[in-house]
Structures are given as C-alpha cells and as structure tokens.
Structure 1
Amino acid sequence: MLNFKTIRLGILLSCMLLLVGGCKLGRSDDDGIIKLRLAHPMAPGNNVTLGYEKFEELVEKKSDGKVQVEVYGSCMLGSDRVAMESVQRGSLEMASSSSPNMANFSPYFMIFDLPYITDIKYQDKIYESLDEGKLGDFFDRLANEINLKPIMFSEYGYRNFVTTGQPISTADTLKKLKVRVTASPVEIEVAKALDMSPTPIAWGETYTAMQQGTVDGEGNTFSLLCDAKHDEVIRYAVDSRHNYSMHILMMNKDFWDELPADVQAIITESAREALDYQRSITSKLEKKAEQKFIEQGIKVHKLTPEELAEYKAKTRPVWDLFADKIPSELFTMVKEVQQ
C-alpha cells in the first residue's frame, strides 16, 4: 500500500516532467512538426477571430504543414490577461490581448486607450507606423522587456456605448449608468469623466452581468457585441467611438528566438498577409452589425458633430491623468502619424 511519502514523491516527479516538457514548448518529438497554440478571447466570426484563422491557414500552407497553428478562441484557454501571462512565463506559445488589457503588463500600452487619441481617417498611417515604423519598433522593444514578441497588431475597432434599458445619445444621458469596463485604468477614468459608475468585469462574464442587471451598459464594437450575442440584451446604442482598440498577438520571446530563421520568416510573412485581410473586412463587419442592431429594434443614435465635440471635451482631461505614466515620445509618435 502506498504511503504518504511515496505519493508526494510521485507528485513531485510528475511536476518535474511537466517542467521538462515545457522546455520543448511547441515542438513535437515524433515528427518534428512545430505546433503553435494561439489563445484569444474573441467570438466565432469576429474580425479578430477571422484574422487568426487566416494566419493559421497561411502558416500551414507556407510551411507545407511543418508548422501547425492551433487556434483556441472564446476564452477557451483563459481571458486576455490569463492567456498572456501563460505566454509570458512560457507555458503557451501565443496569445492575443486587447490593448486595454495589455495595460496589465505595461502602462505604455494605455496610449491607444486614451479617448479620441486617434481617428478612423488616420488608420492607414497608424498601421504603417506599427507594421514598419517607429510605433512598431517602440512596442517591439517594450514587449521584449517583458519576454514577449509582437506578431500582429489586429484591428479591433472603435468602442461604442450600449445599454440594456436606458436610452442614450448625448454625453449627459450616460450619467449614473453602471458600465462594464476592462481593468484598464484609462477606461475606468473615461467612465468617470462621463459621470458613469465603472465596474470592471471580465469579458466572459459580461453577457450575464448585462442580462442580470449587474451593469446597465458596456462599451464595445458593434461587431463583437453581435458575434458574442450581446445584442440579445442590448436595447440602445450610440456611436460614441470613444476608444480605439487593437488586439495584439504576442509570442513567448524565448521561444521565438529559438525558432529557425526560415520559420520566423514564414510567421512574419503570414502575419502581414493575415493583417491585410483582417483589416480589410473590419469596416464591413461593423456596418453589417449596426444594420443588424437596427433590424432587431435596437435604437442606434448617431452623434452630430456638436454632440461628438461634447464627448471629446468631457473626456479630454483623462489624457492629463496619464501624462506621467506614458512617455512623451510615445505621445509624439502617435501625433506625428496624424499630421
């Protein structure tokens, strides 16, 4: 009969084997195939999801099947933060996190959370800087410092406020609403600036929170809200476009460095092509989702220029709250691409 010491020794040996297995992250001993697990929180059919599925297809095609990507969406391997922490410590190859949730790893990622810091008319310039310019170089260095390697800066889109019961339009109509936010300090301060009550809730729990009245509303892209079935509980929406977000795909830096140069090239090339595809479909999916809202009876208020200016004026002081947490050079780089 096994005694306690024997059981404890067995557990210890099992843990050691798991650790040893972790050193061979992503590699198969049997056939030499490199396997990459990619975790993300987005729903099926979402623009971010479709981009990662395209990335999977391209990597496997360009490598003749020698590199295989396994995509796990809908928080199957944990929320943004949990999955990214797994990548950071080396127990998972790749994970995608929204830029607001990346603030958990470095406050510098908050630059894109700042309200109205960018506009859709400057998107191409921002992407150019991220893909092959100053912004990309900056975030590559930043990620490397926390053992991460940026692979894709996917377009997530502009967040809009929605509610389950209270009509919303101008900034004043948002007062006293309990609104779901991420853990991003910026997002929390934006809600406060608009006189709302911010309530941090994990994405996977937001539908239930909206349904049960834990919160009155949330801010997100119309596309994701439809994909995640939140349109079942939403009654009102406003195209506030108050926050631009990306989904950033990261790989464990140590694992990336150990990959053969030709595999790195395949991943980089596939990511670029998948990004072109993903960004090209985002606007169409957002318009399609807005039309679905309208057809379902959800009231969508379109802001007038004057109403939009009011949103911007109320939230502009949030920039000052984070001026000492975000390098001035980063502010400068973002402003430069909008000139």
Structure 2
Amino acid sequence: MNSTIPGDFSRREFTALVGRYGLMTVAMAAAVLPKRGYPATNEALTATAGSVYKKRFSKTARHSLRFGAAHFSRPGLAIIPNGSLPFVADLEERTDGEIRVEYFGGNQLCQERACTRMAVHGEVDFFSASTQNASAEAPYFNIFDFAFLWPSRASLYYFFYHPRSEELLRAPLRKYHHLQMLFSHAELRGFMMGLKHKDKPDITSVDGLKEARVRVTGTQLGRIAMKLLGMQPVPVPWSDTLHALRTGAIDGAETWSSAVPYGSWGPVISQDVQSRFMAGNAMTSMNYDSYLSLSASLQEAVMESAYLTQINIHKTSEAKLLSVTGISNPPLPGSYYHQHGIRNVIWGDAEMAYARELASPLSNPEPWQAWRDRLNRMAGGIDIYSELYKIARELPANVNELDVEPRRWWKKADDS
C-alpha cells in the first residue's frame, strides 16, 4: 500500500490517513502536492488530503465512476507519467464534484488485459493499459504495432493530437470495442537485454539479436516483427518478467525504456537496444456508454480534462525520459541508467534501414497481410497502415518531441 504515495511515510501513518480519508482521496492529494509546490511530507499530505476530501464530498455526486488502472500507481507514475491520477483530480475539480471517480491502481481490481475487458463490457468506466496488452481484448489497438510505422515519439504525439485520429483511431474503437480513447504517453519499443550481455559488446546490429529469447507483451503484430528480425518471442506476463530476466529464462524483453526503472529491472538489464521498432503507449480510455450517459457539459469536461492531461503527459514524459530513466548516450548523471550501468545502444541509419527491409510491411508485406485486411475492414475499408504511415511522416524528421503542437483532436480547426 505504501507505493500509492510519495515520500517517506510509515505504514502506520499511511494506514491512518487512508482510514480517515479513503485511498482515492489520499492518492489524489499525493498527485496535487507537486502541482502546488508542497514537499512530500506527512504533514503536507495530511493537510492536502483534508482539503481534497472536503472538496470531493461537499456535494452529492451525480455520477460515481470506477477506474481500473491495472498496475499504474505511485511511485511508478513518477517514472511513467500516464496521466491517470492527474486526470481524475482535474475532472472532479472541473465538474465541481458532479463526477466522482474511485481509482483502483496497483492491480487491486484488475490487471491490464482484465481491465480492458471490464471496460469493454462496462464493468468499469475508465481503464489504463498499454495499447499492446489492451489489443488482446480490443484488437483494433493493433494499428499501432506495424513494424517501424512510427519514426519518432514526436510522430506519435502528433497523431494523438491530429483531427484525423478521430476517423482513423477513435471512431473504430467506439464502434467495435465501445471505448472512448482519451490520452496516452508515447515511447518507442526496443529490446532490454539481460546480464548475459553485460560484458559483451554493444548489440549494434539485427544479427546480434539472432535467436535471442525475448519476452513479448500481448501484441500480436509485435510477434510478427520480432520473428522477422530473427528473435524468438516468448510470452511472459509483466509480473513475471523480472524473475524471468533474473533467472536467465529469457535473454531480454521488448518494452519501452521507462519500463526498466518502473519495473525495478536495473539489476538485471545491461543494454537498452533502442531499435524503435514499434510504438509503446500507456493509454487511458473510457467505456463509451458511460461517456454517453453524461450530459453534454460533462462530456465536454471529460474531453477538456483529457486534453489537458495529454499535454501534461507529453511534456512531463519527455523530461523524465532524460532525467529519470536516462535514455541519452551517455545517460545523464543521477539517472536510473547511470546508477545501474545500463548502456544505451542506438542503431545507426544503415542498420535501421536493414531492419526495416526485413520487417516493415513496406518491404516485406506478406507476413502482415492477414492483419492488414482485418484492421482495414474495421477501419471502414481504407488501408489503415498507409494512412497512418503518411500522417506519421507529415511531421518533419527533425522536429523535437517537445515542439509538437497540442490540438483538440475532436474539434474542427476553426472551433479549437
């Protein structure tokens, strides 16, 4: 339970605070502390929890909603800022308590795949998961996972803000999975290699990964890409991956970089091979029927809170990738990678071109065709891969992630 809040608190202090105000109120208070510039002390948290509690329960909520946040809880949200808790805090404040949300993180209620299933069926109102793990229950999320579709994190944020994300992403999710996608963080997936490679040269080529046994998430398309790159994808649940790496049952794991500190993998990872072969998104969506049950003004409040949260994720995540995770080469002093001696291995242009030749649908279309046909039908008969490929390259390659312009994706240009 201590992982729900920041700072140096005893279990006794935390239990007393939760008993007085409730876990959700305490978690929201912890999210508010840094925004107000308060230190993460017991005194500051107690005072803030009291203030938040009074505001939350000053009136009877018209809508009491449940949020299945899988494993996303503090302090991990300081590493992967997926926006879930700040979103809840902003939404409750924005609606003056007409919407109240009970947040279940730390796998209290469900893990990622189960949270997705529960949201699809209306058993929870919001959920958070990676798009890869959500795709096992909501297959349209697979559109993110074509190999080498996204040239940069900037291209992903550009798409999330893009008005055509309504047509290409959000409308099919509503139609087929009853989900209103709200916001997401953005990274690109690579291969986190275990201690077997600690004293070996950097893996600077695709051939260096040949026959490696590498953990794969729930993504169906990711497995296609890994096989085309010569690896053996091994399905391992997130909760079991640290043990599998520690024991050498797998050689590495495909994931995004900030997952390494998030999962406390530092002692078992030697190289972050930044192949950037696939998107990595920790997103939040809402059950669409729950959304439609709200008045027009409350629906607008949900979207405005989602927009504000998307901007916050975009800016915060980019800063933390450098300062907290340490994805630069070399890692910044004090970052997690610096502390644990993890090497960033960034493939050169020639090797990236070779990897794309092996695995990209542009160069090697046949292995992808069945999935392309299925997703094209769900997208309304268009070639979804080609449409996403074009949008991802509307942004010049040299645009920095932080320079991507936020836009209200659900509004027309002249309305926003």
TM-score, normalised with respect to structure 1: 0.83
Q: 2:173 aligns with which of 143, 158, 165?
A: 143
Instruction: Supply the distance in 2 between the matched residues of 1:46 and 1:191 (Cα, whole angstroms).
Output: 30
Instruction: Supply the distance in 2 between the matched residues of 1:67 and 1:108 (Cα, whole angstroms).
Output: 29
Q: Corresponding residue for 1:7? A: none
Q: Is the 8 A contact 1:178 1:216 kept in 2?
A: yes
After TM superposition, give the deviation of residue 302 of structure 1 in Å: 2.3
Instruction: Supply the distance in 2 between the matched residues of 1:261 and 1:247 (Cα, whole angstroms).
Output: 27
1:235-254 matches, within 5 Å, as: 235-254=270-289
- Counterpart of 2:267, as a letter, is E
Q: Is the 8 A contact 2:185 2:317 kept in 1?
A: yes
1:213 aligns with 2:248: yes
1:59 aligns with 2:105: no
Please say which of residues 173-182 and 98-107 is displaced more in the overlay.
Answer: 98-107
1:269 aligns with 2:304: yes
Q: Corresponding residue for 2:389? A: 335
After TM superposition, give the deviation of residue 49 of structure 1 in Å: 4.2
SS at match of 1:322: helix
After TM superposition, give the deviation of residue 313 of structure 1 in Å: 2.1
Q: Deviations over 1:56-87 (max 9, x none)?
A: 12111111223222333343322221111111
Q: Decide whether aligned partners of structure 1 residues 273 and 37 sit closer, same or farther in structure 2, where only a CA change above 3 A counts.
A: same
Instruction: Supply the distance in 2 between the matched residues of 1:184 and 1:284 (Cα, whole angstroms).
Output: 27
1:136-175 matches, within 5 Å, as: 136-167=166-197, 168-175=203-210
Q: Decide whether aligned partners of structure 1 residues 297 and 189 sit closer, same or farther in structure 2, where only a CA change above 3 A counts.
A: same
After TM superposition, give the deviation of residue 273 of structure 1 in Å: 0.4
- Counterpart of 2:185, as a letter, is E
Q: Corresponding residue for 2:68? A: 39
Instruction: Supply the distance in 2 between the matched residues of 1:294 and 1:319 (Cα, whole angstroms).
Output: 40
Q: Is the 8 A contact 2:67 2:101 kept in 1?
A: yes
Instruction: Supply the distance in 2 between the matched residues of 1:87 and 1:122 (Cα, whole angstroms).
Output: 28
Q: Decide whether aligned partners of structure 1 residues 50 and 316 sit closer, same or farther in structure 2, where only a CA change above 3 A counts.
A: closer
Instruction: Supply the distance in 1 between the matched residues of 2:386 and 2:291 (Cα, whole angstroms).
Output: 30
After TM superposition, give the deviation of residue 48 of structure 1 in Å: 4.9
Give the number of the structure with larger relative contact order, counting CA–CA contacts within 8 Å between residues 6 or more apart: 1
Q: Is the 8 A contact 1:92 1:252 kept in 2?
A: yes
Q: Is the 8 A contact 1:140 1:150 kept in 2?
A: yes
Shift >4 Å, 4+ stretches: 46-50
SS at match of 1:78: coil
1:14-53 matches, within 5 Å, as: 31-40=60-69, 41-42=71-72, 44-46=76-78, 48-53=80-85
Instruction: Supply the distance in 2 between the matched residues of 1:336 and 1:195 (Cα, whole angstroms).
Output: 28
Q: Decide whether aligned partners of structure 1 residues 74 and 109 sit closer, same or farther in structure 2, where only a CA change above 3 A counts.
A: same
After TM superposition, give the deviation of residue 192 of structure 1 in Å: 0.9
1:307 aligns with 2:328: no
Instruction: Supply the distance in 1 between the matched residues of 2:108 and 2:354 (Cα, whole angstroms).
Output: 40
Q: Deviations over 1:231-264 (max 9, x none)?
A: 2211222121111122332222222221222221
Instruction: Supply the distance in 2 between the matched residues of 1:232 and 1:35 (Cα, whole angstroms).
Output: 42
Q: Corresponding residue for 1:297? A: 341
Q: 1:222 aligns with which of 257, 269, 272?
A: 257
Q: Deviations over 1:93-117 (max 9, x none)?
A: 1112222223324443222111110
Instruction: Supply the distance in 2 between the matched residues of 1:240 and 1:123 (Cα, whole angstroms).
Output: 16
SS at match of 1:45: helix
- Counterpart of 2:149, as a letter, is I
1:127 aligns with 2:160: yes
Q: How many residues align?
A: 308
Instruction: Supply the distance in 2 between the matched residues of 1:212 and 1:256 (Cα, whole angstroms).
Output: 45
Q: Decide whether aligned partners of structure 1 residues 319 and 104 sit closer, same or farther in structure 2, where only a CA change above 3 A counts.
A: farther
Instruction: Point out where structure 2 has 5 or more consecutive residues left out of the alignment.
Output: 1-56, 198-202, 377-381, 395-416
Q: Is the 8 A contact 2:205 2:347 kept in 1?
A: yes
Q: Is the 8 A contact 2:182 2:286 kept in 1?
A: no
Q: Is the 8 A contact 2:80 2:262 kept in 1?
A: no
Instruction: Supply the distance in 2 between the matched residues of 1:107 and 1:91 (Cα, whole angstroms).
Output: 19
Q: Decide whether aligned partners of structure 1 residues 46 and 77 sit closer, same or farther in structure 2, where only a CA change above 3 A counts.
A: farther
Q: Is the 8 A contact 1:107 1:325 kept in 2?
A: no
Q: Is the 8 A contact 2:128 2:285 kept in 1?
A: yes
Q: Corresponding residue for 1:10? A: none
After TM superposition, give the deviation of residue 92 of structure 1 in Å: 1.1
Q: Corresponding residue for 1:90? A: 122
Q: Deviations over 1:131-171 (max 9, x none)?
A: xx222233332222335232423023111211112333311
Q: Identity over aligned residues, as a percent?
A: 21
Q: Is the 8 A contact 2:61 2:100 kept in 1?
A: no
Q: Is the 8 A contact 1:160 1:238 kept in 2?
A: yes
Q: How large is the RMSD of aligned CA atoms in angstroms?
A: 2.3
1:203 aligns with 2:238: yes
Instruction: Supply the distance in 2 between the matched residues of 1:55 and 1:163 (Cα, whole angstroms).
Output: 34
- Counterpart of 1:126, as a letter, is F
Instruction: Point out where structure 1 has 5 or more consecutive residues left out of the alignment.
Output: 1-27
- Counterpart of 1:335, as a letter, is Y
Q: Is the 8 A contact 2:116 2:127 kept in 1?
A: yes
Greater strand share, structure number: 1
1:322 aligns with 2:322: no
